[in-house]
Structure 1
Amino acid sequence: MRVPAKPPLEGLKRSLEKKRAKGERLPRDGFLRETFSLPRQEARAKAREWLERWPKQAYWTEIESWAERPGDMIEFTMRRLPSAD
């Protein structure tokens, strides 16, 4: 029995290189992330906005990390799945 030859991958390579050059990459885990640096009250409001717009039960939305910065600023990263499917 004859083993089929490998298909040419040049088209796929070019496509991947173009997307990478444009920065069109999702993290390997599939989550969308956005980092904010806001005053404490605005940071709370932004986190609530995310959790209301993309509920945790459907999108696995959460505050991935946060840190206090000088001047009562909070730097935090929110993450969620791109869709609820």
Structure 2
Amino acid sequence: MAKLPKSPSMDGLKKRIRDHRQAESDGFVRSRYVLSREEARAKAREWFDAWPKAAYWTEVESWRLDEDGRIEFTMRRLSSAD
């Protein structure tokens, strides 16, 4: 009767999952939008009005202009102000 090989350790996978979850939970809330220039400005203003930059570190994290002339951008803010 042949012996079955020992199951591989799950420690590496567990570490990768834990590291990934910690990277995601950096305390910021993010939302991605693809809007026309005017709509993008209005959406960013909405965020800054609702969550002031000084308290929530609100910012446009990244943005780019797509082929259709629309703005693709990510807004970021802290989940709560202390």
Q: TM-score, normalised by structure 2?
A: 0.69
Partner of 1:46: 43
The alignment of Structure 1 onto Structure 2 pairs a total of residues equal to 62
Partner of 1:74: 71
Structure number, greater radius of gyration? 2
Letter of the 2:78 counterpart: L
Shift of the 84–26 alpha-carbon distance from structure 1 to 2, 3 Å rule, reads farther
Structure 2: gaps of 5 or more residues: 1-20
Following superposition, the deviation at residue 28 of structure 1 comes to 3.1
Alpha-carbon distance in 2 for matches of 1:26, 1:73: 29
Instruction: State the percentage of identical aligned residues.
Output: 61
Structure 1: gaps of 5 or more residues: 1-19
Q: CA RMSD in A?
A: 1.8
Q: TM-score, normalised by structure 1?
A: 0.67
Alpha-carbon distance in 2 for matches of 1:46, 1:26: 26
Alpha-carbon distance in 1 for matches of 2:70, 2:42: 13
The equivalences for 1:1-85 within 5 A come to 27-85=24-82
SS of the counterpart of 2:24?
coil
